[in-house]
């Protein structure tokens, strides 16, 4: 099987950016050479991580980064999306850490040398623990600490970066981390999620303003994850339930950025669950951006319920990925079209898409046909949105390689490249080879 896209699609043009993505805590390891972060603390607590693991070694990328860039280059991609580690780059006194800085500058220089565009994300969930000790994202000051981090790092990186995203998936940081407690820092209270979300969004806006000053020519944006919400039936009640869930989980994070306000449900929430909004916050949050990063994996189906929220999520229908998420590519097209209808959007990059599969190394091969089918159907879904008039400029597969999958530890594999965690040997899976052939053929056809 080969990956392909209909002739004439702009996704076949060399101008359409294809990349692979990773995140600092998930691959770097070498935790001793940076400050502790909330995920170190969370992993050390009993029963938080499925296999009891942590990020101490991960993919040993701090040592193997050059070899990993060889791998990225061998895949023929145009871009590499990485996140940088706040606790590696910033000392406790709010100054740059020179060793951390040198590490990332080496990576950026190497990527540029090989014509691979660096897409840098400032925050992919690894908050320095000393900031969590002062309240983390529940403390408004964390947004200002983030601004300082963005300011110092962007000045030091100078022109080395192609595109900056402030945050990755603030929904996960806020909701999973502060409301339901399945991610670090593990707080579990429904009055906290939206407060944390507001400070994350404020940090985003402050970060964009600093970037506008420091590097006006570099593209700036944010990466949001969306799990489109569908009603379980055609009943008005289920439709209303899906709409409420959508406002909580999806629109809550995008509407402030493009419309400068939270969705309607804010009016129905008890005061205890509402964020504390100071004058001027919504203007900062809605500072214009150059691109929107969209992460898509699956959809969710909701029924109405008589609980506080008014909805309940149905168990995902088959077919599932290895992490239990329904495979439903049509929702990706529907999502992109609906976002485009709802908001005045800048160009979109699909900043993450991919699946966890139960991969097995057989000799020197991993025959992950299921992942290839997933990639093909989702590339088609992106093309469907483009054909409906949505401007999408690039696609990043999640992930370059298997890595630490948060609460699932190393039990779930999302990579195009298989990682043997005992030997740290990387093996490109069949899907990785197909992705390579697909992205490279654009250059021979054009």
CB of 169 to ligand IFM, least distance (A): 6
430-445 and 369-387 helices cross at what angle (nearest 10)?
Answer: 40
Work out which of 5, 17, 20, 23 binds ligand IFM, going by CB under 6 A. 23
Q: How many positions of this chain bind ligand IFM (CB under 6 A)?
A: 8
Cα–Cα dist 319/326, whole Å: 6
Work out which of 103, 226, 398, 435 binds ligand IFM, going by CB under 6 A. 398
Residue sitting closest to ligand IFM (CB): 23
CB of 349 to ligand IFM, least distance (A): 14
Q: For the beta carbon of residue 41, count every other beta carbon within 10 angstroms.
A: 18
* Closer of 27 and 75 to ligand IFM (Cβ): 27
The catalytic position among 110, 326, 352, 405 is 352
CB of 352 to ligand IFM, least distance (A): 5
Both structure tokens of 321: 């990925």
Q: Could you confirm whether 314 is annotated as catalytic?
A: no
Site for ligand IFM in 299-338 (CB under 6 A): none
Is residue 349 a contact residue for ligand IFM (CB under 6 A)? no
322 neighbors 412 (Cβ within 8 angstroms): yes
* Closer of 121 and 304 to ligand IFM (Cβ): 121
Is residue 414 a contact residue for ligand IFM (CB under 6 A)? yes
* Closer of 118 and 354 to ligand IFM (Cβ): 354
For residue 58, count CB atoms less than 10 angstroms from its CB and return exposed for 0-12, middle for 13-18, buried for 19 or more: buried
* Closer of 16 and 296 to ligand IFM (Cβ): 296
Both structure tokens of 134: 């002062």
422 neighbors 89 (Cβ within 8 angstroms): no
* Closer of 231 and 329 to ligand IFM (Cβ): 329
Both structure tokens of 213: 């000053």
CB of 328 to ligand IFM, least distance (A): 16
Work out which of 97, 129, 251, 295 binds ligand IFM, going by CB under 6 A. 295
Is residue 169 a contact residue for ligand IFM (CB under 6 A)? yes
Q: Could you confirm whether 352 is annotated as catalytic?
A: yes
* Closer of 124 and 436 to ligand IFM (Cβ): 124
Is residue 137 a contact residue for ligand IFM (CB under 6 A)? no
Return the HEC string of the chain. CCCCCCCCCHHHCCCCEEEEECCHHHHCCCHHHCCCEHHHHHHCCCCCCCCCCCCCCCCCHHHHHHHHHHHHHHCCCCEEEEECCHHHHECCCCCECHHHHHHHHHHHHHHHHCCCEEEEEEECCCCEHHHHCCCHHHCCHHHHHHHHHHHHHHHHHHHHCCEEEEEECHHHHHHHHHHCCCCCCCCCCCCCHHHHHHHHHHHHHHHHHHHHHHCCCCEEEEEEEECCEEECCCCHHHHHHHHHHHHHHHHHHHHHHHHCCCCHHHHHCCHHHCCCCCCCHHHHHCCCCCEEEEEECCCEEEEECCCCCCEEECCCCCCECCCCCECCCHHHHHHHHHHHHHCCCCCEEEEECCCCECCCCECCECCCHHHHHHHHHHHHHHHHHHHCCCCEEEEEEECCECCCCHHHCCCCECCCEEEECCCCEEEECHHHHHHHHHHHHHHHHC
CB of 302 to ligand IFM, least distance (A): 21
Is residue 262 a contact residue for ligand IFM (CB under 6 A)? no
* Closer of 57 and 182 to ligand IFM (Cβ): 182
* Closer of 25 and 262 to ligand IFM (Cβ): 25
The catalytic position among 169, 179, 326, 405 is 169
Is residue 352 a contact residue for ligand IFM (CB under 6 A)? yes
Work out which of 405, 410, 418, 419 binds ligand IFM, going by CB under 6 A. 405
Positions in the binding site for ligand IFM (CB under 6 A): 23, 26, 169, 295, 352, 398, 405, 414
Q: Which residues are catalytic?
A: 169, 352
């Amino acid at each position: 099987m080969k990956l392909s896209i209909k002739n004439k699609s702009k996704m076949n043009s060399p101008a359409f950016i294809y990349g692979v993505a990773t995140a600092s805590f998930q691959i770097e390891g070498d935790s001793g050479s940076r400050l502790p972060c909330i995920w170190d603390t969370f992993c050390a607590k009993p029963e938080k991580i499925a296999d009891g693991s942590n990020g101490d070694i991960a993919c040993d990328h701090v040592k193997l980064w050059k070899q990993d860039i060889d791998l990225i280059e061998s895949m023929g991609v145009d871009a590499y999306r990485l996140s940088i580690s706040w606790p590696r780059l910033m000392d406790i006194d709010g100054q740059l850490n020179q060793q951390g800085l040198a590490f990332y500058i080496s990576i950026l220089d190497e990527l540029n040398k090989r014509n691979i565009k660096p897409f840098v994300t400032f925050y992919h969930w690894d908050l320095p623990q000393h900031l969590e000790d002062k309240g983390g994202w529940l403390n408004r000051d964390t947004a200002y600490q983030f601004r300082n981090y963005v300011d110092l790092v962007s000045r030091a990186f100078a022109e080395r970066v192609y595109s900056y995203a402030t945050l990755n998936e603030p929904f996960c940081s806020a909701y999973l981390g502060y409301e339901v407690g399945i991610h670090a820092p593990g707080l579990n209270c429904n009055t906290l999620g939206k407060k944390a979300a507001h400070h994350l969004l404020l940090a985003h806006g402050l970060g964009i303003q600093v970037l506008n000053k420091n590097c006006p020519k570099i593209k700036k944006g944010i990466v949001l994850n969306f799990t489109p919400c569908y009603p379980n039936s055609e009943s008005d009640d289920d439709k209303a339930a899906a709409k409420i869930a959508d406002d909580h989980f999806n629109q809550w994070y995008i509407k402030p950025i493009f419309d400068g306000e939270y969705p309607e449900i804010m009016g129905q929430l008890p005061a205890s669950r509402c964020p504390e909004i100071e004058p001027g916050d919504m203007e900062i949050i809605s500072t214009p951006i150059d691109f929107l990063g969209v992460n898509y994996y699956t959809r969710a189906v909701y029924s109405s319920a008589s609980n506080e929220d008014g909805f309940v999520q149905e168990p995902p229908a088959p077919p599932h990925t290895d992490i239990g998420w329904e495979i439903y590519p049509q929702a990706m097209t529907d999502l992109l079209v609906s976002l485009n209808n709802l908001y005045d959007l800048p160009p979109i990059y699909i900043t993450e898409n991919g699946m966890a599969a139960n991969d097995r190394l057989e000799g020197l091969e991993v025959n992950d046909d299921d992942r290839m089918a997933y990639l093909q159907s989702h590339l088609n879904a992106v093309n469907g949105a483009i054909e409906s008039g949505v401007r999408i400029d690039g696609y990043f597969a999640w992930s370059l390689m298997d890595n630490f999958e948060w609460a699932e530890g190393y039990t779930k594999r999302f990579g195009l490249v298989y990682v043997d965690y005992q030997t740290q040997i990387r093996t490109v899976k069949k899907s990785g080879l197909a992705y390579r052939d697909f992205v490279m053929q654009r250059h021979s056809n054009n």
